[in-house]
Amino acid sequence: MKIDLHTHIIPPDIPNYAKKFGYGDFIHLDHDPTTCTACMMKGPERFRVIESNCWDVEKRLEECNKDGVSVQVLSTIPVLFNYWAKPEHASETSKYINDHLAQVVSEHPTRFIALGTVPLQETQLACFEMERAVKKLGMPGIEIGSNVNGRNLDDPALDEFWATAQDLGASIFIHPWDMMARDRMSKYWTPWLVGMMAETALAYCSLTMGGVLDKYPDLKICFAHGGGSFPATIGRIDHGFNVRPDLCQTDSQSLPSSWLKKIYIDSLVHDEDALKLLIKKVGVQRIALGTDYPFPLGEHRPGALIEKMSHLTQDQRSWLNYKSALAFLGLDEKHYL
């Protein structure tokens, strides 16, 4: 059994919100039925071409069946977070996206699980939509970005969001987006190859040193892309925490590495040695198969890297392939087996 914790989907008929609201880079799709592709349009501008598996549920199921994936955990594409928009507009787009996610799950309840999206630029609206996603739409949690319009995740304005997430028992999947230093990353796809990893490390440092995880110890947090660069640099982060407490221990006295076995990460690292390090640092019971389906930077054959790890026991593989995902989401495996 395999549960893919990290996959993205877009509603095929998402409204042209740029036209409706009269501003901004809201994404809609310009479909080309002859090639089964669509162009993601940022307002009137072409953004990128995607294939039908990004929105076509039957196509996704066909590919899941071919790849032995029992369940996909669906979340929106970060470019659809719309944190930059007016809060009431991002609230409307989040509702539309979440209703679509819930609809897909209701049609195939044993094959899909959904993580919602919220307008995180306005904490109260974000809490309201998170509560709706969890209580009304039955979602186990939500996906959020690694920053909110340049504000890190320990921003005091997000305090109520974390409190509400803990109260609801909502699992929070943190996905890098709006990458830092874009003015120096115009070449070599570096926002995706360097920026995403650094964004995720910054999110980890903000939540740990910022005291968010101390304050809300029951939060369930998962970082995408194998945790980005923090698992490999945790020794340096701990050392800095110890030698400059005046800079690092301002909101937390807990060593940053002490959280490694309390958070979750996905397995998407594309390298056997890197996954070995993650297993050593975080443990198999905190690492969940994730592929970033259906995008090219993802793992094209879900679980191939885990399969390659010949020294793993069957029990360890079970955790990586599905048990960790279920533990993070707080779901029972008997519903999906």
Q: Assess 299 for contact with Zn ion (CB under 5 A).
A: no
Q: How far is the CB of 174 from Zn ion (least distance, A)?
A: 11
Give the residue with the Cβ less far from Zn ion, 200 or 208. Answer: 200
Q: Assess 292 for contact with Zn ion (CB under 5 A).
A: yes
Q: Which stretch binds Zn ion (CB under 5 A): 158-166, 260-268, 291-299, 316-324?
A: 291-299
Q: How far is the CB of 291 from Zn ion (least distance, A)?
A: 9
End-to-end CA distance of the chain: 7
Give the residue with the Cβ less far from Zn ion, 122 or 292. Answer: 292
Residue nearest Zn ion, Cβ-based: 292
How many CB atoms within 10 Å of residue 182? 11
Give the residue with the Cβ less far from Zn ion, 178 or 292. Answer: 292
Give the residue with the Cβ less far from Zn ion, 7 or 123. Answer: 7
Three-state SS at 6: strand
Residue 154 CA to residue 5 CA, distance in Å, equals: 25
Beta-carbon contacts of 171 under 8 Å, excluding residues fewer than 6 positions away, are: 115, 140, 141, 142, 220, 221, 222, 328, 329, 330
**What is the Cα Rg of the chain in Å?**
19
Q: How far is the CB of 90 from Zn ion (least distance, A)?
A: 19
Give the residue with the Cβ less far from Zn ion, 8 or 28. Answer: 8
Q: Assess 4 for contact with Zn ion (CB under 5 A).
A: no
Amino acid present at 86 = K
Q: Which stretch binds Zn ion (CB under 5 A): 123-131, 249-257, 284-292, 315-323?
A: 284-292
Q: Which stretch binds Zn ion (CB under 5 A): 58-66, 90-98, 124-132, 286-294?
A: 286-294
Q: Which stretch binds Zn ion (CB under 5 A): 79-87, 107-115, 292-300, 320-328?
A: 292-300
Give the residue with the Cβ less far from Zn ion, 210 or 290. Answer: 290
Cα–Cα distance list, 126 to 18, 119, 165, 221, 235 (Å): 21, 5, 10, 17, 34
Residue 247 CA to residue 62 CA, distance in Å, equals: 52
Q: Please, are residues 118 and 126 in contact by the beta-carbon 8 Å criterion?
A: yes
Residue 130 CA to residue 95 CA, distance in Å, equals: 10
Q: Which stretch binds Zn ion (CB under 5 A): 16-24, 81-89, 142-150, 285-293?
A: 285-293
Q: How far is the CB of 176 from Zn ion (least distance, A)?
A: 8
Q: How far is the CB of 60 from Zn ion (least distance, A)?
A: 15
Binding mask 242-281 for Zn ion (x = CB under 5 A): ----------------------------------------
Give the residue with the Cβ less far from Zn ion, 92 or 292. Answer: 292
Q: Cis peptide before 33, with omega less than 30 degrees from 0? A: no
DSSP 8-state class, residue 147: -
How many CB atoms within 10 Å of residue 302? 26
Q: Kindly list the residues in this chain that would bind Zn ion in the complex (CB under 5 A).
A: 292
